[in-house]
Structure 1
Amino acid sequence: MISYAECSARERLALIVDTGSFHEWLPPALKLTSPHLAQLGVPSSFDDGVAIGRAQLAGQPVFVAAQEGQFMGGGVGEVHGAKLVGLLRRALRDRPRAVLLLAESGGVRLHEANAGLIAVSEVMRAVLDVRAAGIPVIVLIGGSGGCFGGMGIVARCADHIVMSDIGRLAMSGPEVIEASHGVEEFDSRDRALVWRTTGGKHRWLTGDCDVLVEDDVIAFRTAAISALGATRPVTLDALEAEHARLSARLAFDGAEATALWSSLGVGAAERIPDLDVAGVLALGAP
C-alpha cells in the first residue's frame, strides 16, 4: 500500500495513470510562474502548483490535472486556474474518455484575490461545459491539505468524487470558520471534530462523495477506472433532487455529525469515527 496523502502531485499522477503514459503540458522547463507573486516578493513555483497533461488510464485516453498542496496550500491563482481551464477546454475539442482532477487546495490564493476568484469561476464553468458534452469529470480527494473553498465547489460540480477516509471536503476550512465565528463555533485544533464534519467518511455517508477508499494510491486508481465513461447528466430532475436533499439537511436541528448520521438512518452512528473504511462501507449508504 502506498499512501496517497504522502505522495506529491506528480507522484500521484505517475502511480494512478498507466505507467509512463503521462505527457505534461506546460512542463517545468517552461517555468510558467505567477507574475503576481513576483510583484509581491513571494516565492513562486515552476508550475504554479498544478501539473496538467494527457495520459492513459486502463488503456483509455484521459486528461489529468494534479494540484500540489505543498505549494501555497494548492491555492488557485490566475496562472494555476488558467492551466485548469485550458485543460478542460481542450477536452471539449479532443474528447478524452474522462478528465481526472487530483484536487488538493485550500481554495483561492489570497495573494491574487480577484484574479484567483475569477479563475475559480472559470474552472467551474469549464467543468460544467465538459460534463454537458458527455465527458465525465472525476475528482480524487485524499491529500493532507483537503479540498476547500472554491475548489470545494469545483469538486461538487463534477460527475464523480472519490475520497479517502482521511480526505477532507468543504466550502470553508476549519481555520476559516474559527477565524470568522470563533473557537466556540468550530475548534480547528479538534482533529476529531474536523474529520467528523469534513472527512471522507462523513462525506460518503451524507452523499457528498460517490466512493470511499483507503489512503492507497491503487485504491484511487481502481475507483477512477470504474468511473470511466460513467457520465451523470446535469438535468432539471437531478438538480431538483439535489436541492431537496440539501433542504432536508438544512432542516436538521443539531450540531453533531453523529446525530446527523443517525437522522439519515445510519445505524450505530456513534461508532463510525472508530471504524475503518471497510467497516463504514459495510453499513451501506443511507
Structure 2
Amino acid sequence: MSSSQIVIYADNTNVPITGLIGSSCTIAIQAFLYSEDGSTLQMDYPLQAAVQDPSIISSTKENGKRKVLVSVGGEVFASSAWKAAASDVSSFASQIAAFVEKYNFDGVDIDWEDTGAISDGSYDPTTFLLDLSSALKSALPSSQNFITHAPQCPYFYTGSDLDIYSTIAKNAGDNIDLFNIQYYNNDWYVGSSGSDEEEKVAGLTGSSVFPSSIMGIKAQGLDVSKMLVGKPTTSDNASSGYLDDDDLASYVVTPLAKELGSDFGGVMGWQFATSASSSDNVLSWIEAMNSAIEAGSSSTSTQAAE
C-alpha cells in the first residue's frame, strides 16, 4: 500500500469539497484566505461558502480519512500585502492560526507567488516563509498544524535566481510537511508533451537530471517524500502544463511511483472543479491518479520480492 498523497484544491462555490467524500483524495485544500494590506485577512467566496456550515469541513474529513486545510495566498494576494506580512510575521501567523482553530481546519497551505520580491529586495522571501512556517507550527495545536506550501517549480531550479525553495526545504525541518509543487503555467520548466514532462517534471530522462524535476530535487539531497507533482486536473484549470490522465500516468506518475516506491510524495490537482465556473468535478482524475500510483507501487513491490 502506497503512502503517497493525493491532494486536491477547491476554489469554486459550485463544487463544494463535500463532493470528495468517498474518493481517494487524502488532503483537501480549500482556497483562499487573502489580504489586501498584509494585516487584515479576508475570505474569497468559495472559502466563505465552505465555512458557513460547520458540517462541511467536518463531514469532508470523513472520520479522519482526509485532512482539510485552508490555503493562504494565491494570485490575488498583493506583493505589498506579502511585504507587510513579512514585517510582522507573529501577528500574521496568529491571525491565520485563529482562523484555522475557529473553523476546524487541520492546518494551513501557503501559496506564496510574489516572484518579484526575489529580485526587488523589498523583503527576504526565504526568511519570511521559513519564519511563517515555524510560527504556524508553534501557534497551532498538534492536531491542526499540518503545514504545506505550493511553490512554483522554478523555485526549485538550482542555479537560478528564483531558487529559494531548495533553501526553504533544506532548512524547514518538520515545520513544513509537504510541498505541492506547481508544474504548470511555467512552460520552459515543464514542457508541452508527455516526453517533455518525463524529463522536466519527473526527471527520469535526458542527458542530465533536470534541476527542478522530482528526481532533480532528490539529487539536491532534499526529502523527496515531501514533494508532490502538482498538475492541472483539466485543460481549463491552467494556461499550460496539462496532460490528459493517461499521459500523466504513463509519463510521470507511475514511473515516479515505481522509481521512488514509498518515497514518492504523490500528486496534487488544481482543482476539484473542471473549470473556475463549472458545476462538474474531477473525481475521475482523482481515481485515475490513485490507480497510476498503485500501478507504480505494485511494480516496485514485485521487483523487491524477486
**TM-score, normalization by structure 2:** 0.39
**TM-score, normalization by structure 1:** 0.41
More relative contact order, 1 or 2 (CA 8 Å, 6+ apart): 2
